[in-house]
Structure 1
Amino acid sequence: MPYALFCNDAQISKAYPSESDVWKLAQRSGLVVDVVADDERPGPRRVLDNGYEIASCQAAHGEDPAKNKAEADQQTRMDQQTRMELELNS
């Protein structure tokens, strides 16, 4: 079952093969915040910003969650390479 990012019950991302893939997308988008530990859980824990959630979904007709993941991974690699080049050139 694929997963996606939702805001106020509306799907706002493409479908991805796993929940962890959507967590990575949310992290890159700045939607993950660390919350101070409570008595039940030691250390900070990751949570989504208010109004956002990750849930299982149906892929849209013709949508391929594995292809979405591959494209997101490629974009991440390109972004990392660009940052490295900028750092080297500064």
Structure 2
Amino acid sequence: MPYALFSNDAQLSKAYPTEADVWKFARQSGLVVDAATEQDKAAPRPVLDNDYEIRPCPLEPQEDPARNQAEAEREAEMEFQVNQ
């Protein structure tokens, strides 16, 4: 089952093969913040900013989650090389 980033019912990202892939995309996009509750003070946990959520999604016709993931990784690598 592919996953994507949503705000309310609007899909904001392409579909990715796993939930972990969407977390990686969200982290690279600056959408992940560390939050701590009273119980988790010693170890804050990552949460999505602005009430975004990651959930399963239907695929668009001819959409390939694996290709989306590969493209996102290439773009991140290119950005890393430019910023060095």
The TM-score, its normalising length taken from structure 2, stands at 0.92
Pair 1:20 & 2:2 matched: no
> What TM-score do you get using the length of structure 1 for normalisation?
0.86
Cα deviation digits, residues 41-66 of structure 1 (max 9, x gap): 74010000122000001111110000
Alpha-carbon distance in 1 for matches of 2:56, 2:13: 12
Stretches of structure 2 lacking an aligned partner (at least 5 in a row): none
Number of aligned residue pairs: 84
Bigger Cα Rg:
1
Quick one: distance in 1 between partners of 2:43 and 2:35? 9
1:66-85 to 2 correspondences below 5 Å? 66-84=66-84
C-alpha RMSD over aligned residues: 1.4
Q: In the alignment, does 2:64 pair up with 1:64?
A: yes
> How much has 1:38 moved relative to structure 2?
2.9
Alpha-carbon shift at residue 40 of structure 1 (Å): 5.6
